[in-house]
Structure 1
Amino acid sequence: MAIIGNIIKGFIEARDTLSKERNPIEEQKKVLQELLEKAKETQFGQHYQFGAILNSENVAKAYAETVPYFDYNKISGEWWTRTLKGEPNVTWPGSPDFFALSSGTTGKKSKRIPVTEDMIASIKKAGIKQVYALSNFDMPADFFEKEIMMLGSSTDLRERQGHKEGEISGISASNIPFWFKKYYKPGEEIAKIDDWDERVLTIAKEAKNWDIGALSGIPSWMELMLKKVIEYHNLEHIHEIWPNLQVYTSGGVAFDPYEKSFNALLGRPIQIIDTYLASEGFMAFQSGPDTNAMKLITDNGIYFEFVPFKSEYINEDGSLVEDAPALTLDQVQRDEDYVLIISTVSGTWRYLIGDTIAFTDVENAEIKITGRTKFFLNTVGSQLSVNKLNDAVKHLEEELDIKIPEYTLCAKRFDDGFYHSWYLGSDRSVDSTKTAEILDSFLKQANKNYKVARSKALEGVKVAFVPQEVFAEWSGANKKKGGQVKMERVMGEEKFEEWEAFVAQEMEN
C-alpha cells in the first residue's frame, strides 16, 4: 500500500477543496497595484511616474498610457544594461541574483533576462499551484511516490559579475526545495553536465535504476532523450524500463505537432499536462484532464495585457507599433488571437514576450498558445499563424500516415515567384509533390487570406523531407541544443539561406 502516496494525495485533495473561488480580474488589478507600489522608487518607476499612476482613478488605463511597449532590445538597451553592470534599483528593487539566458528562436546571441528573488518565489508558488491541481486528474496514490524526470538545461550556472547565469529550467532546477530532491531525476550531478549529448547518454545508462512516474520538459528534446533510452537498452517502448510512467508535463511550445511521434515511444497512453514556463516567468498551467487549455496564474506577480493579433499592429520584425491597443483581462474575447504583454516581479514592464495566445474560457482566464509574433507568415498576404501551420502538419500526418514532429518554412522567392517552401522533419518521406498538394489544399480551406494570396502573389507550396535529427543538429550548431530551445517555425529569407546550406551539408555527411 502506498502509505506516503496516500498521505500526499489526501493533503492535495483537502487543500484543493479548501481553495477559495478565483476572481482573475480582481486578482490582476491587485497584482498591478503591488508591482507599481514596490517599484515606484526604482529608476524606472521614477522615470515613468509610478506614484502618479497609483493615484489615478483608473490605474490600468494610466499605466498603459504612460509606459510604452518594450521588446527585449529596447528594455535591455535602455535599462537592463545598467543592471548587468551592477547598478541596483534599476527596474526592480535591489539587484537580481540570476539572469536567464533565453535561447530563443532567432539570432545566435543569448538574451539576458533578470530573475529576482521575487521571481524565484513566484515560480515556486506556481509549481505548488500546479501540484495542487493534480487533485483534478485523479492520479492513483502510488503516483505520488514515484520519481520525476525534469529534462532542462544544465544546472551548472555560470558566475558573472556578481550574479549567476543559465537557462530558466536550469535556474529553477538549481532552486528546487530540499524535500523535492529525493523525487528529482536525473539528480544534481547529471543535471550539471553541460554537454547535451553526454547528459542524455548518462541518463540512458542510469535509466534502469530509476522508477520514473512523470516527465517534464520541452517535447522535441524529451523525444530525443526517450529515443536514446530506448535505443541504449534495446527496448520496444519506454514503458519497458519505466512501467510506472503516467504523466508528461509539456511546455514551451504547442504539443500538437509532437503528439503522434511522442505517443509512438510509449507502451500505453499517459496524461499530458501543458504548462507555460518561459524565461520571464511561470504564467499558466493546465488544471484538469478535460481540456488542453491552460489557466493563467493571475495572482502571482505577473500582470497581463493583450494586443489584438492583427497585421496592422505588428511590425515586420515581430515588434508592436507604438499605438497598438492593449486590452485588460475584462476586455478580451474568446477565440481571438492576442499578443501577450507582461509586467513582472523581475522588473519586466509592458514586455512583448513574443507569444500569441487565445482564450478558450474568458471567465476562468484559460488560454492556449497559438504561436509567435515572429512566426507570423504574412510576406505575401497569407496571414498564417503557427496554430494554422500546426493544424496543416497534423492533417498531413493523418492523410499520409507519417510522423512529422518538426518543420520550418519560409515565403521564398523563386524564379517564377513566391512559394511557401517547407522542410518537414520526419524519419519517413513520401512524394513531395503529393505532400505539397495536400498542404496547399488544406490551407486554402482553413484560411481565407491564404486562399486569396494563392490567387495573387503566392504561386504555391514546395516541400522537402529531412530526418528529424537534422533539426536537433541545427539547434546544436547554433549553440542551442537542449533546454528551452524552440525551433523556428517560420524563417526570414536570410536565415532560411543559412538553414538550406546547413541541410545540404548534413545530407552530404
Structure 2
Amino acid sequence: MAIFGSIIKSLIDIKDTFTSENNPVEEQLEVLSILLDKAKNTAFGKHYDFAGILESEDIPKAFAETVPYFDYNKLNEQWWSKYHEGEENVTWPGKPPYFALSSGTTGKASKKIPVTQDMVNAIRAAGIKQVSALSHFDLPPDFFEKEIMMLGSSTDLVKEDDHEEGEISGISASNIPGWFQGYYKPGVDIAKIDDWDERVTAIAENAKNWDIGALSGIPSWMELMLKKVIEYHKVDNIHEIWPNLQVYASGGVAFEPYEKSFNALLGKPVEVIDTYLASEGFLAYQNRPGTHAMKLITDNGIYFEFVPFKAEYINEDGSITDNAPVITIADVKKDEEYVLLISTVSGAWRYLIGDTIKFEDVEAQEIRITGRTKFFLNVVGSQLSVNKMNDAVQELEKEYDIKIPEFVVAAKRFEEDNEYYHYWYLGTEDSADNEKLAHSLDEALKEANKNYSVARSKALHGVKVKTISPNLFHEWNAKNKKMGGQVKMEKVMNEEKFKEWENFIAEQNP
C-alpha cells in the first residue's frame, strides 16, 4: 500500500477542506494596496505618487488614471535598465537577485525581466495552490509517490554582476525546496545542461531509471522529448517506459493545437492540467477536471487589469493604444476577450504581458488563454485572433484525420495579381492536399468570424496553404532563439519576417 502517498493525499484533502471561498474583488484591492504601499518609496513609486494614490477613495481608479500602460520596451528603457547601471529601489525595493530571459514569440534579443525574491516566493506559493488543487482530481494515493518530470530551461543560471540570469522555468527549478528534490526529475545534474539536444539525450538515457507520474512543460518541447525517449528505447509509446504516467501539466500556450499529436505518443489517457506560468509570474492554474480553463490567482502578488480585445485598441506592433479602456476583475464578462495587464511584486506596473484571455466562468475566475496581441492578423480587416486560427486548424485535423501541431500565417501580397492572400504554413507529418486544406480552412474561418468573411469578399483575395515538417518550426526557433524551455513559436508574422521565414524554408528544402 502506498502509505506515504496516502498521507500526502490526505494532507492535500484536509487543506482543501479548510480553504475558504475567496472574494476576488476584495483580494485584488488588497493586492494592489500592498503593491503600492511596498513600492511607494521607490523611484517609480515617487514619480507616480503611489502615496497619494493610496489615500484616494477609489484606489484602482486612481491607479489607472495616474500610471500609464507599459510594454517591455517602454518599461525597460525608462526604468528597468537602471538596475543594470547599479541603481536600486527602481520599480521595487532593493535589487532583483534574478532576471528572467525571455525572447517571447518575436525577435532574437532576449528580454530581461526582473525576478525579485518576493516573486520567487509568490511562484512557490502558486505552485502549492496547484498541488492542493489535485485533490479535485481522481488520482490514486500512489500517484503522490511518483516522480515529476519538469522539462524547463537549464537551471545553470548565468552570474552577471550582482544577479543571476536564466529563463523563468530554470529560475523556479533552481529554487525548488529541499523536500521536493527526491521527486524532481531529470534531477539537478541533467537540468543544468544548457544544450537542448544534450539534455534530452541524457533524459532518454536515464528514462528507465525513473518512475514518472507527471510531466510539466510547454507542449511542443514536451512532444520532442517524448519522441526522443520513445525512439531511443525503440518502443511504441511513452507508457512502455513510464507505465505510471497519469498527469501532464501543460503551460505557456493553449494545449488544444497539440492535443492530437500529443495523445499519439501515449499508451493510455492522462489527465491534462493547464497552468499559466509566464516570465512575469505564475498567473493561473487549472483547479478542477473536465475543463481547460484555469483559475486566476487573485491573492498572490499580482494585480490584474483587462483591456477589451478590439481592433481599434491594438497597434500594429501588438501594443495597445493610449486611449484603450481598462476594467478591473469586478466588471469582466463571460466569453469576452481581453488584453491582460499586470502589476507585480517584481516591479512590473500596468504591464502588457502580451497575452489575450477570456473568462469562461466569472464567478470562479476561470480563464482561457486565447492568443497573443502580436498574433492578431488584421492587415486587410480580417480581425483574426489566434484562438479562431487554432479552432480552424483543429477543424482541419478532424476533417482530414491529420495532426497539425504547428502553423504560421501571414497576409502576403502576390506580385502576379497585386492581391493579398493569407498564406499558411501547416506543420504536419501526414499527407494532405494543399488546395483542399486551403478551401476548408477558408470556409471554417468565414463561418467563425464575420469580419474575416467580409474581408474575403473585399481586400483579402484568397487563402494559400503549404504543408511542411513540424521539425522545421523547431529548427527555426533554434536558429532565431534557442531550443526548449520557455520558447514558443510565433503564429502570425508581418511581411518582412515572413520573407525571412520563407527564405529559411527554401534553404531547408532546396
TM tier, smaller: over 0.9
Letter in structure 2 aligned against 1:141: P
Cα distance in 1 for partners of 2:501, 2:482 equals 15
Letter in structure 2 aligned against 1:252: G
Is residue 103–residue 480 contact of structure 1 (8 Å, CA) maintained in 2?
A: no
Cα distance in 2 for partners of 1:84, 1:405 equals 39
Return the offset for 1:290.
2.1
441, 448, 451: which one aligns with 1:449: 451
- 1:436 corresponding residue in structure 2: 438
Letter in structure 1 aligned against 2:477: S
Mapped pair 1:468 → 2:455: no
Is residue 357–residue 370 contact of structure 1 (8 Å, CA) maintained in 2?
A: yes
- 1:482 corresponding residue in structure 2: 484
- 1:375 corresponding residue in structure 2: 375
Cα distance in 1 for partners of 2:375, 2:481 equals 21
Is residue 423–residue 464 contact of structure 1 (8 Å, CA) maintained in 2?
A: yes
Aligned to 1:44, the other structure's residue is in SS state: helix
Aligned to 2:350, the other structure's residue is in SS state: strand
- 2:331 corresponding residue in structure 1: 331
Cα distance in 2 for partners of 1:101, 1:429 equals 38
Residues 103-154 of structure 1 show CA distances to partners (whole Å, capped at 9, x for unaligned) of 2111100000000000000000000000000000021000000000000111
Identity percentage of aligned residues: 70
Is residue 80–residue 90 contact of structure 1 (8 Å, CA) maintained in 2?
A: yes
Letter in structure 2 aligned against 1:503: I
Aligned to 2:331, the other structure's residue is in SS state: coil
Return the offset for 1:365.
1.1
- 2:119 corresponding residue in structure 1: 119
- 1:213 corresponding residue in structure 2: 213
- 1:503 corresponding residue in structure 2: 505
Return the offset for 1:478.
1.1
Cα distance in 2 for partners of 1:217, 1:429 equals 29
Mapped pair 1:425 → 2:427: yes
Runs of 4+ in 1 over 2 A off after TM superposition: none
Return the offset for 1:506.
1.2
- 1:17 corresponding residue in structure 2: 17
Task: Compute the TM-score of the two structures, normalised by the length of structure 2.
Answer: 0.99
Aligned to 1:325, the other structure's residue is in SS state: coil
- 2:259 corresponding residue in structure 1: 259
Return the offset for 1:480.
2.2
Cα distance in 2 for partners of 1:190, 1:442 equals 44
Superposition pairs for residues 304-383 of structure 1, below 5 Å? Answer: 304-383=304-383
Aligned to 1:21, the other structure's residue is in SS state: coil
Return the offset for 1:86.
2.1
Return the offset for 1:412.
0.6
Residues 136-187 of structure 1 show CA distances to partners (whole Å, capped at 9, x for unaligned) of 0021000000000000111110011210000000000000010000000000
Letter in structure 2 aligned against 1:445: E
Superposition pairs for residues 130-141 of structure 1, below 5 Å? Answer: 130-141=130-141
Aligned to 1:194, the other structure's residue is in SS state: coil
Residues 204-241 of structure 1 show CA distances to partners (whole Å, capped at 9, x for unaligned) of 01001000000000000000000000000001000000
Letter in structure 1 aligned against 2:496: E
Aligned to 1:421, the other structure's residue is in SS state: strand
Alignment gaps of 5+ in structure 2:
none
Residues 409-455 of structure 1 show CA distances to partners (whole Å, capped at 9, x for unaligned) of 10111122000000000112311011100001111111100000000
- 1:285 corresponding residue in structure 2: 285
Residues 50-92 of structure 1 show CA distances to partners (whole Å, capped at 9, x for unaligned) of 0000000000000000000000000000000001222110000
Is residue 153–residue 167 contact of structure 1 (8 Å, CA) maintained in 2?
A: yes
Cα distance in 2 for partners of 1:487, 1:405 equals 11
Cα distance in 2 for partners of 1:341, 1:365 equals 16
Cα distance in 2 for partners of 1:479, 1:357 equals 26
Residues 246-289 of structure 1 show CA distances to partners (whole Å, capped at 9, x for unaligned) of 00000000000000000000000000000000000000000000
Return the offset for 1:479.
2.6
Letter in structure 1 aligned against 2:507: Q
- 1:42 corresponding residue in structure 2: 42
Aligned to 2:287, the other structure's residue is in SS state: coil
Return the offset for 1:408.
0.4
Letter in structure 2 aligned against 1:282: F
- 2:201 corresponding residue in structure 1: 201
Cα distance in 2 for partners of 1:402, 1:117 equals 46
491, 494, 500: which one aligns with 1:492: 494
Aligned to 1:248, the other structure's residue is in SS state: strand
Cα distance in 2 for partners of 1:179, 1:454 equals 58
- 2:8 corresponding residue in structure 1: 8
Is residue 86–residue 161 contact of structure 1 (8 Å, CA) maintained in 2?
A: no
- 1:158 corresponding residue in structure 2: 158
Return the offset for 1:364.
1.6
Letter in structure 2 aligned against 1:497: K
- 2:232 corresponding residue in structure 1: 232
Mapped pair 1:178 → 2:201: no
> How much is the aligned-residue C-alpha RMSD, in angstroms?
0.6
Cα distance in 1 for partners of 2:481, 2:310 equals 33
Cα distance in 2 for partners of 1:75, 1:469 equals 35
Letter in structure 2 aligned against 1:289: P
- 2:408 corresponding residue in structure 1: 408
Aligned to 2:378, the other structure's residue is in SS state: coil
Letter in structure 1 aligned against 2:344: T
Cα distance in 2 for partners of 1:400, 1:21 equals 45
Return the offset for 1:292.
1.2
- 2:95 corresponding residue in structure 1: 95
Cα distance in 2 for partners of 1:479, 1:396 equals 29
Cα distance in 2 for partners of 1:434, 1:332 equals 40
Cα distance in 2 for partners of 1:388, 1:480 equals 28
- 2:107 corresponding residue in structure 1: 107
Aligned to 1:330, the other structure's residue is in SS state: helix
Aligned to 1:176, the other structure's residue is in SS state: coil
Cα distance in 2 for partners of 1:16, 1:428 equals 45
Alignment gaps of 5+ in structure 1:
none
